[in-house]
């Protein structure tokens, strides 16, 4: 009887080992991605929060090339969060950094193009992540006339169904300032809006995601085929 029990225990051990080994092999096959690589020409910046402008020390500007939030008066700002007094109370928009906001030194010129098909109060992260290109009315490459706005449309303190959530942009000014040999194009996703207290002051905040192609291409895929 003892011999029989010992035999059963050996069988059980071997079966468990076989099942465990097979599971490891399955995981290796299903999770390893050998068909794509990270796109070397695309930078992706997530969760960049721009604050409302109150003065020179406000973190109300953004460097779209480096994916950093900057002081309001940074000469390297590509865009700035402005409040749109002329369009009513509590209206905000992103505009080109070369404007003269409250007598600040001008920054860098940026041009925008709206994606009208992204009008939504609930536009998703997944939808932005799968956006691959700017869709002009002609074949690539992109040209200067594809970017015809100096700002986004204005937003309130929460998203509504008419708000455009994605814009294409062109770093027009910085190509000249930095002496780049190629244009730089990108996408910006207006991701979330919040109002928080900073230094005792109620402050509007707009959080964005950015994709930037550094090779002058109309291609914003984060991963591309490996061959």
Mean pLDDT by 10 residues, the chain (227 residues): 42 37 33 85 98 92 98 95 71 90 82 98 98 96 97 96 98 96 98 95 96 98 94
- Give the CA distances from residue 196 to residues 8, 85, 158, in Å, rounded to whole numbers and listed in that order: 66, 20, 13
* Domain boundary assignment for the chain: 1-32, 37-225
Residue 206 has a pLDDT of 98
| Residue 80, beta-bridge partner list | 61, 95
Distance from C-alpha of 161 to C-alpha of 182, rounded to nearest angstrom: 36
Reading the block at residue 168, the tokens are 């294409």
Q: How far apart are CA 206 and CA 82, in angstroms?
A: 11
CB-based burial label for 79 (10 Å; 0-12, 13-18, 19+): buried
pLDDT at 101: 65
CA neighbor of 208 nearest in space, from 43, 89, 94: 94
Q: pTM (2 decimals)?
A: 0.83
The predicted structure's pLDDT at residue 3: 47
Q: What confidence score (pLDDT) does residue 86 get?
A: 53
Using an 8 Å Cβ cutoff, are 84 and 93 in contact? yes
Closest C-alpha to 132, from 38, 221, 226, 223: 221
Q: What is the pLDDT of residue 42?
A: 98
pLDDT at 106: 87
């Amino acid at each position: 009887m003892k011999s029989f029990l010992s035999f059963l225990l050996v069988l059980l051990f071997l079966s468990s080992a076989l099942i465990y080994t097979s599971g490891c092999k399955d995981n290796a096959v299903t999770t390893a991605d050998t068909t794509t690589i990270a796109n070397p020409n695309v930078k992706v910046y997530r969760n960049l929060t721009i604050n409302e402008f109150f003065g020179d020390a406000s973190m109300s500007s953004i460097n779209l090339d480096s994916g950093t939030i900057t002081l309001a008066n940074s000469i390297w700002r590509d865009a700035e969060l402005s409040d749109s007094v002329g369009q009513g109370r509590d209206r905000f928009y992103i505009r080109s950094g070369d404007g003269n906001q409250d007598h600040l030194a001008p920054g860098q010129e940026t041009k925008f193009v709206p994606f009208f098909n992204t009008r939504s109060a609930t536009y998703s992260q997944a939808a932005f992540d799968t956006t691959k290109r700017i869709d002009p009315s002609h074949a690539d490459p992109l040209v200067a006339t594809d970017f015809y706005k100096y700002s986004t449309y204005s937003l309130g303190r929460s998203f509504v169904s008419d708000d455009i959530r994605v814009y294409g942009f062109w770093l027009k000014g910085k190509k000249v300032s930095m002496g780049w040999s190629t244009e730089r194009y990108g996408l910006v996703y207006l991701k979330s809006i919040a109002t928080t207290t900073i230094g005792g002051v109620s402050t509007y905040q707009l959080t964005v995601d950015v994709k930037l192609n550094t090779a002058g291409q109309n291609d914003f895929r984060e991963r591309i085929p490996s061959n």
